[in-house]
Chain A
């Protein structure tokens, strides 16, 4: 029998806030242990939570991006369970009235080749709810150490319907989520820093069946490849069991990236009794329509919408849009440059997606130089493209100009002049201007020939004036020496 996989994802995304979800001590990654704590984070007697408005608004934005329903009222519940990384032994979360309900995420599956757009699908969301992160345990040989820095960081748990069918779709979903959330400034979604974490529920059923099989929950998927490998592994594992006539056991399994295997973690889910109840310390949140309007107005264009617009408005090929639109740093840069030189979109896109990327990659040993460290301003790039489009320098020379701009942050015009790529004053024109200057000042010519090298400067001023500053000083000096030498 042939089976198909049914996959649902639960993705935890750390929201980008300055302070924590329920108290105002700072959030952060990589700080010395237990330096981002306060009475609320440590669950000290008497401490009380207070909501972070920004975290709530960021979460609403996530809902708006994916066209979820934002219920008028959402509330806060306590999920009671015991673990040393949970300072109060309950987690504040949203149980039956979450901040976002429904919605869908557009994903793009891998295309047949790099330059061919893949198939697009919409993945239905069940809900998204806000909660607090837990601390971090480091297990030693004899004991464990607990650092509560991460505890209390705002987490948005985004839950999909069980509608994904493959590991590729899961990866595409995470990529789409990351692109959208980073573009809106909601999260950095760096899986290595734990800013995006994923659990996957996997079950198999005979192709064509509408009944769901027994599912297992895969945990500890802390990289994109982890998600892919763990789901593939689980699909293989379950199909082997089913093909042998066995039964899949409902369980939670921990993925071990090193061994490439997963192992059963806990017993049945029913064994947990979280005793959810409304948190008496926190009052509900009521979102008026005006807030939704304000937040909607702050949203960036959805990634694939933007891509379709670039393709139609600027006639850009898929290969360029897939580089620019999938990285909001690049698309923002591109938009800023195009605003300076609207007719040059195509050229700008080429420079952004190719030359600039090449320079960023070459600038650092591994990965890319972050866009915020790139010295070329969008307006400067637009200027360069305008010069190239005007046929004033060759494309080959433009690459070199761009490299210099990348290294120095200087304007392209100055660089072109310095490198002598300025094609407006060609050497014959420059030669005749120099000759005129020498003829106009025989005294200085005499002095130079008599050995006063400084006399050469007397000609440079008039020449620069005549070329309106476009002459390369080094080239001019060379021509003058030749003329004065009588050649």
Chain B
């Protein structure tokens, strides 16, 4: 699935909602689709920039090798987890039965 940017401001709203794990009402989807397409069409201004040979920026600083030594520190307790968990049993988070989700 290779799509040219010039055709890409058409949005598959159901696919995006699924990737986002968002349950949306049909009216919400309709509105979002229009807004996203309008926003993306405006953002196509980026096509005008020659970016050949340019490295992408992933961080606002150019630093490497920030790490910790392998030494153990305190963590949280299951009791602390229980205070924030929506459902908790036997020191564990309870979720309804999990089925495979492709």
Question: For residue A265, which residues in chain B have a CB less than 8 angstroms away from its CB?
Answer: 100
| Beta-carbon contacts under 8 Å, A239-295 to B | 265-267, 271-273, 275, 278, 280, 282-286
Complex-state Cα separation, A148 to B76, whole angstroms = 12
Bound-state CA distance A139–B74 (Å) is: 29
Given the interface pairs A82-B21, A271-B102, the reply to whether A50 lies near B66 with Cβ below 8 Å is yes
- Say whether A94 faces chain B, with CB atoms less than 8 Å apart: no
A445 within 8 A of B: no
A37 touches B81 (CB 8 A): yes
Contact, CB under 8 Å: A145 / B102: no
Contacts A37-B81, A143-B96 hold; do A278 and B69 have CB atoms under 8 A apart? no
Determine which residue in B84, B89, B94 has the highest number of CB atoms from chain A within 10 A of its CB, and name it: B94
- List B residues 68-102 near A (Cβ within 8 Å): 68-78, 81, 84, 89-98, 100-102
Q: B62 — nearest CB in chain A belongs to which residue?
A: A283
Answer whether residue A84 sits at the interface, using C-beta atoms and an 8 A cutoff: yes
A275 touches B19 (CB 8 A): yes
Closest beta carbon of chain B to A108's beta carbon, Å? 33
Contact A144 B66, beta carbon cutoff 8 Å: no
Known: A82-B21, A146-B95, A275-B19. A42 touches B73 (CB 8 A): no
Q: Which single member of A18, A50, A147, A283 contacts B59 (CB below 8 Å)?
A: A283
Check B92 against A56 for contact (C-beta < 8 Å).
Answer: no
Residue pair A34, B91 in contact (C-beta under 8 Å): yes
Query: Of A33, A53, A145, which contacts B68 at CB under 8 A?
Result: A53
Known: A53-B68, A82-B21, A275-B19. Is A266-B95 also a contact (CB below 8 A)? no
Query: Once the chains bind, are A283 and B66 in contact (CB under 8 Å)?
Result: yes
Asked whether B75 lies within 8 Å of A38 as measured between CB atoms, the reply is yes
- In the assembled complex, which residues on chain B have CB atoms less than 8 Å from the CB atom of A37? 75-76, 81
Residue of B nearest to A279 (CB): B58
User: In the complex, are the beta carbons of A138 and B67 less than 8 A apart?
Assistant: no
Question: Nearest Cβ in chain B — how far from A165, in angstroms?
Answer: 31
A430 near B: Cβ within 8 Å? no
Q: Check A18 against B96 for contact (C-beta < 8 Å).
A: no
Report yes or no: A278 in contact with B100, Cβ–Cβ below 8 A: no
B93 touches A145 (CB 8 A): yes
CB distance from B54 to the nearest CB of A (A): 15
A38 pairs with B93, CB closer than 8 A: no
Interface residues of A in 51-110 (CB under 8 A from B): 51-56, 73, 75, 82-84
What residues of chain A lie closer than 8 Å to B97, measured between beta carbons? Answer: 139-140, 142-144
Is A35 positioned at the interface, with any CB of B under 8 Å from its CB?
yes
The closest CB in chain A to the CB of B94 belongs to: A143
> Do A56 and B102 form a contact, CB below 8 Å, given A139-B97, A145-B89, A145-B90?
no
If A82-B101, A283-B59 touch, whether A34 touches B71 (CB-CB below 8 Å) is no
A53 to B81, CA, bound (A): 28
A17 at the interface (CB under 8 A from B): yes
Residue B73 contacts which of A25, A55, A144, A284 (CB distance < 8 angstroms)?
A25
Closest residue of chain B to A272 (Cβ to Cβ) is B102
10 smallest beta-carbon distances between A and B, as pairs: A54-B70, A25-B75, A38-B75, A145-B92, A278-B58, A51-B67, A24-B73, A146-B93, A53-B67, A286-B64
16 A-B interface contacts by CB (under 8 A): A18-B70, A26-B72, A38-B75, A42-B76, A44-B84, A51-B67, A55-B70, A84-B98, A139-B98, A271-B102, A272-B102, A280-B58, A282-B66, A283-B65, A285-B65, A286-B64
Write the residues of chain B forming the contact surface with A, with a CB cutoff of 8 angstroms.
19, 21, 58-59, 61, 63-78, 81, 84, 89-98, 100-102
Known: A34-B91, A267-B102. 14 other contacts (CB 8 A): A18-B71, A24-B68, A24-B72, A32-B91, A34-B93, A35-B91, A53-B67, A139-B97, A144-B98, A145-B90, A145-B93, A146-B95, A280-B59, A283-B59
